[in-house]
Amino acid sequence: MKNFLIILVGITLYACDFSKRIDTTAAVKEMRERQVKRVLPQDIVNQVDVLGKALQMNLSKGVSADTLRSKNKVLIQMGSVSQLKQSVTDTKIVEMLNAIDFGMANKQEIPASIQKNSTGDSLFYIFPTNNGNITLIGFSKKQVIIQMDKPLIK
């Protein structure tokens, strides 16, 4: 019986392969990184605000709109309010341009703003420039979410 217990303990210890242990802290960290994250509409708006301000700064430093357009996968349109109204077909954006035009006519200070289009699949960062023109930067919601998750995409 004593030999049987020794053999049983020996087999049990042999079956426990301690060389394949995993680092639990690393496993927990990886599980957290891979879990599905909920992106709220406010998170998307905040990200558009950050990206819009960065693009506005680059444009003011003289970086080409074409370069920024291709690098960031955004729509950039610049011009007077009347030019932009002719090229933009979305009713909500046209209404926003009318409001900006009214504010500029009354010599009001116009801050940068973010507006959704009618379908809600894009956000537009709109700001006036020093020369009286308007710059309209269009972001796809899908592209913004990809930008937010870039560190997690491998």
51: domain CATH number is 3.30.450
Q: What is the pLDDT of residues 68-83, one digit of tens each?
A: 999 999 999 999 999 9
Q: What is the pLDDT of residue 18?
A: 65
Which tens digit of pLDDT belongs to each residue from 29-39?
888 877 777 88
Residue that has been written with the tokens 């992106």 in this structure: 39
pLDDT at 148: 83
Burial grade of 135 (CB within 10 A; 0-12, 13-18, 19 or more): buried
Alpha helices in 40-154 (DSSP H): 41-60, 65-72, 81-87, 91-105, 141-148
Looking at the structure, do residues 83 and 99 belong to the same domain, yes or no? yes
Contact 93, 120 (CB under 8 A): no
Q: Do 22 and 47 have their domain in common?
A: no
Cβ neighbourhood burial of 92 (10 Å; 0-12, 13-18, 19+): middle
pTM reported for the whole predicted model: 0.75
- Structural domain span for residue 26: 2-34
- pLDDT under 50 in the chain at which residues? 154
